[in-house]
Structure 1
């Protein structure tokens, strides 16, 4: 027993010694401790102090883990020669922010034999046995522009007004009638708030997207259904009452479901950034966007004429919203489109999320025997997300660069969401035209056949009448003049 105790003490001593050796061998302190808010396309010096632990030559190498975001432009490698043990040696390096994003710098130490030299700047390799000391966090943001602030505020105002108008156009009686048969709305809820978030999370992990971009895709997938779904439901012969009901329910349910999914899986996207998910801000943003529905319902209850007037303007304000996003929005957020060109996974994710959602939701609804009409509606409601809510939640809840980086995904998604629906509408329209023309041709043939048949019948009738008159005519002759009878056929038979 005593031998075992002595062995345990020796083992613990060895572990502690190794920990002291590894943890205390190198001491590097940085100023600033990390960089948050470095503006893109600008340079910045980072200073550090290295406490020397070896008498022989040592080099410190700084390497960016994502050179697309940050690059080291000066003193990537620094050689320390013949420094006394315990001495503190100051040094520095310079970084350049290339684009919006967040990354880390790897700081490694290499022991250089006395006979090997190393030139500053890293042109001559001095790698023997490198050891990772620490990582240095860097966040690059965009330069603040007045245009972006105006766009964000304008977007929020338009969305709030549209939400009030939606409340004015909602007929609670229709929603109640739909909810009396809750299977279809329940399937829609399942697709909207279970299938979609898991799909968005899976796509972001499959494509190995940057944390900010993945966060944007995930927030889009957790968002409620968009108002455009009602329009496409009509165009594709879906169930409009079910569509309106699902849109209304998803707006209300988003108050709880979006924070739930951010709590469940959102931390995956922000753990590297060492930021916390702002649940309070998310809740306030959602409440500010959903509360206007209640205002619209109250207007409809106490002032139906005003509600009808506002409801009629929904279409035009929706068109203005689309024009606003894709005109002034593009001008104010050109970085989004540049980022799409540099990051092909952004385009791919923007295509995959809505298109795969259409297919999965339609298949699930058909599997549960909802019929083509309702399955089409559920698929449309699932695939079309309210990007305005996603944008506002991201812009008003998260810090930069996460907010700006994540905001790229709602725009990328909305660009590709309607394409399958437009294609389906075109196919349906062409099919209707072909069937209509075929029916017209068939009807024309039927009319022609009937006309021909009527003509032939008329001909036979006329000939029949003529034949009846012929005997009497032939009977009026000198030969049979005296044999005229009232029955021409009898007379004819005598002839």
Structure 2
């Protein structure tokens, strides 16, 4: 028997016994079989590679941080406060709105709500670099949102979360939250120390950071699709198309809120990115530790879809943005070449005038001699 999707499958056994006296006996048994997530080498490789690369990337990101600028942001924390409001004041309610509008199943509704309550992800720091945002603000917001999650997540789960958790009790993975906080503090601190003792390292990292970020993000996107493709078979089309509206709405509304609050443009981009990109790995931990099987496996499908489909709009914007930059650079080069050409023409005209003047002077001298 081959089962194509995970969850509960009904297995029916039918036994026919034929005796020598031409009599027969038939028996049937029905069994519920739990189909679990397959354990493959590629899965183990994925879960080993991802944390290692994230730590290395965070160290490199730390070298780009400037403690002076961080202190300045903390002295005037307007952007941090706006980001906090966008993270915990908008995202949980956006998640609830999406589940109600698109009539999610109770399990998928709870999964999306859990994502909406999660803090910002480390991937937001990488996208902030690619979009020329404020990486110092991004690091501060990641730290603040992850620290606040120890309070905000239980607060939401045991208040508004009662809409979804009448039968299931959500277990907040405080150890997982502490691990996420450590992944923000320790690698970034190492990067700051490297930058302090070896200032030239910052220049090297600046040169390689953007190309490396593009490569790593594409690598993880492709790798994640390959590893988790089987989960998409468990998802209906409506949920697949509507679940990514949560991060998309976070991008737009977070940036809009920052713009309304009149923060600088780099901070507007950073707040939008931080609000939209959630730490979906925490949602995975919550669902896997809170729900019995097969609900746990079914519940991680929505976080997986959100994780994989959060960034495609960013890729489109990034490509368009680069093309616009190239076009503007070509225009500027064209203007410079035209200006340079005009100067040459002017010089040529002046040289011709000088030659004419010299000829006139020579003619006058010859006339005088005559």
The equivalent residue for 2:178 is 287
Task: For 1:48-197, list aligned pairs within 5 A.
Answer: 141-147=34-40, 151=43, 155=47, 158-159=50-51, 162=54, 166=58, 170=62, 173=67, 174-197=69-92
- Maintained 8 Å contact 2:36/2:297: no
Helix, strand or coil at the partner of 1:270: coil
**Structure 2 Cα separation of the partners of residues 305 and 475 of structure 1:** 80
Instruction: Report the CA distance shift for 1:371/1:184 in structure 2 as closer, same or farther (over 3 A).
Output: same
- Maintained 8 Å contact 2:92/2:113: yes
Instruction: Report the CA distance shift for 1:394/1:321 in structure 2 as closer, same or farther (over 3 A).
Output: farther
Post-superposition shift, 1:435?
1.6
**Structure 2 Cα separation of the partners of residues 301 and 237 of structure 1:** 19
**Structure 1 Cα separation of the partners of residues 340 and 56 of structure 2:** 54
Instruction: Report the CA distance shift for 1:145/1:440 in structure 2 as closer, same or farther (over 3 A).
Output: closer
- Maintained 8 Å contact 2:134/2:266: yes
The CA deviation string for residues 271-293 of structure 1, in whole angstroms up to 9 with x for no partner, is: 2xx332224xx223323433454
- Maintained 8 Å contact 2:255/2:269: yes
The equivalent residue for 2:284 is 391
Q: Which of 207, 211, 226 is 2:102 aligned to? A: 207
Post-superposition shift, 1:378?
0.6
Q: Which of 226, 230, 255 is 1:362 aligned to? A: 255
- Maintained 8 Å contact 1:188/1:378: yes
- Maintained 8 Å contact 1:286/1:393: no
The equivalent residue for 1:42 is 10
Unpaired segments of 5 or more residues in structure 2? Answer: 1-5, 14-27
Instruction: Report the CA distance shift for 1:317/1:460 in structure 2 as closer, same or farther (over 3 A).
Output: closer
The equivalent residue for 2:347 is 454
Q: Which of 142, 154, 157 is 1:259 aligned to? A: 154
**Structure 1 Cα separation of the partners of residues 132 and 59 of structure 2:** 24
- Maintained 8 Å contact 1:217/1:406: no
The CA deviation string for residues 47-92 of structure 1, in whole angstroms up to 9 with x for no partner, is: xxxxxxxxxxxxxxxxxxxxxxxxxxxxxxxxxxxxxxxxxxxxxx
Instruction: Report the CA distance shift for 1:447/1:218 in structure 2 as closer, same or farther (over 3 A).
Output: same
Instruction: Report the CA distance shift for 1:175/1:473 in structure 2 as closer, same or farther (over 3 A).
Output: closer
The equivalent residue for 2:273 is 380
- Maintained 8 Å contact 2:66/2:136: no
Task: For 1:312-391, list aligned pairs within 5 A.
Answer: 323=219, 326-327=222-223, 330=225, 333-340=228-235, 343-391=236-284
**Structure 2 Cα separation of the partners of residues 258 and 237 of structure 1:** 30
**Structure 2 Cα separation of the partners of residues 159 and 252 of structure 1:** 20
The equivalent residue for 1:438 is 331
Post-superposition shift, 1:96?
8.3
Structure number with higher helix proportion? 2
Helix, strand or coil at the partner of 2:262: coil
When the two chains are superposed, the root-mean-square deviation of aligned CA atoms in Å is 3.7
The CA deviation string for residues 11-31 of structure 1, in whole angstroms up to 9 with x for no partner, is: xxxxxxxxxxxxxxxxxxxxx
- Maintained 8 Å contact 2:132/2:266: yes
**Structure 1 Cα separation of the partners of residues 245 and 336 of structure 2:** 45
- TM-score w.r.t. the length of structure 2 is 0.77
Helix, strand or coil at the partner of 1:41: strand
- Maintained 8 Å contact 1:185/1:242: yes
Helix, strand or coil at the partner of 2:244: helix
- Maintained 8 Å contact 2:169/2:290: no
Helix, strand or coil at the partner of 2:9: coil
The equivalent residue for 1:90 is none
**Structure 2 Cα separation of the partners of residues 296 and 380 of structure 1:** 21
Structure number with higher strand proportion? 1
Post-superposition shift, 1:238?
1.9
**Structure 1 Cα separation of the partners of residues 136 and 338 of structure 2:** 40
Post-superposition shift, 1:199?
0.7
**Structure 1 Cα separation of the partners of residues 333 and 186 of structure 2:** 51
Q: Kindly name which structure, 1 or 2, has the bigger radius of gyration based on alpha carbons.
A: 1
Instruction: Report the CA distance shift for 1:332/1:471 in structure 2 as closer, same or farther (over 3 A).
Output: closer
The equivalent residue for 1:20 is none
- TM-score w.r.t. the length of structure 1 is 0.59
**Structure 1 Cα separation of the partners of residues 193 and 356 of structure 2:** 78
